[in-house]
Amino acid sequence: MKFFVDTADLAEIRDLADSGLVDGVTTNPSLIAKSGRNMLDVIAEICDVVPGPVSAEVTATEHADMMAEAEVLAAIAPNVAIKVPLTPDGLKTCKALRDRDIMVNVTLCFSSAQAVLAAKADASFISPFVGRLDDIGLRGLDLIEDIVEIFSQHDAFETEVLVASIRGPAHVVESAMAGAHVATLPPGVLRQLYQHPLTDKGLAAFLKDWKATGQSILEQANERKNAAE
């Protein structure tokens, strides 16, 4: 399963990319607004840091205007994935961009029917929003399970299921169990995945016992090296 990070904050992206666990980045107009920065600059810098797909969303709502914006965004770097909303114009734009081999992430998916349309439009990624479905009293993960099941029955559908609007580690684990291809994680959620109190407690006990021995792995290695010379 690939991990994307869901942010336009360069400091966060640099820090998390350093872990070696980040396969891509997703942004949206709200995240760009939150960064307080010029969109084209931010996307270019993110593409320099992360070689995997970096989603940059069009803000136009009509096909011709979406295509014009997509031209600009796709020219930033080869790893830009153009993000389009799940509307008739968005999917028309998706198909046109895919015919030119440009990656496309179809966003704002809230139903299996919409996901099937995106796959028909040859989207590279479909982004179902689990958290926003949970917010209205539905189980967002049901949608992920349904889409993964549908796509698994149709070899012609090459679209990857990119779980978006993730609110916590449970969403990530359940998405992995459902067989989703990608999860896009807010930085805080990615950090939460590392955490378990028994890990902290166990490590503290190991280090205490180790310290009491007075031993050092590197010193012992040096001693062996010196003895062999």
> Which sequence positions are flagged as catalytic?
83
Please, which residue, 36 or 214, has the CB nearer to ligand E4P? 36
- String marking each residue 72-111 x if it binds ligand E4P according to CB under 6 A: -----------------------------------x----
List, in sequence order, every residue forming a beta bridge with 54; answer none if it has no partner: 25, 80
| Rounded least distance, CB 44 to ligand E4P, Å | 19
- According to CB under 6 A, which one of 117, 164, 178, 180 is a site residue for ligand E4P? 164
7 forms part of the interface with ligand E4P (CB under 6 A):
no
In the chain, the N- to C-terminal Cα span, in Å, equals: 47
- According to CB under 6 A, which one of 3, 5, 6, 174 is a site residue for ligand E4P? 6
Please, which residue, 124 or 203, has the CB nearer to ligand E4P? 124
- According to CB under 6 A, which one of 13, 17, 25, 26 is a site residue for ligand E4P? 26
DSSP track, 36-59: TS-HHHHHHHHHHH--S-EEEE--
State the CB neighbour count (10 A cutoff) for residue 160.
18
Of residues 34-73, which lie at the interface with ligand E4P (CB under 6 A)?
A: none
- In sign, the C-alpha dihedral spanning 149, 150, 151, 156 is positive
CA distance 53 to 63: 23
| Rounded least distance, CB 225 to ligand E4P, Å | 51
- String marking each residue 174-193 x if it binds ligand E4P according to CB under 6 A: ----------x---------
Please, which residue, 24 or 208, has the CB nearer to ligand E4P? 24
Only one of the segments 73-81, 87-95, 128-136, 138-146 lies at the binding site for ligand E4P (rule: CB under 6 A); that segment is: 128-136
132 forms part of the interface with ligand E4P (CB under 6 A):
yes
Residues 6+ apart with CB under 8 A from 211: none
CA distance 161 to 146: 11
Q: Which residue has the closest beta carbon to ligand E4P?
A: 165
Site for ligand E4P, rule CB under 6 A: 6, 26, 28, 107, 127, 129, 131-132, 164-165, 184
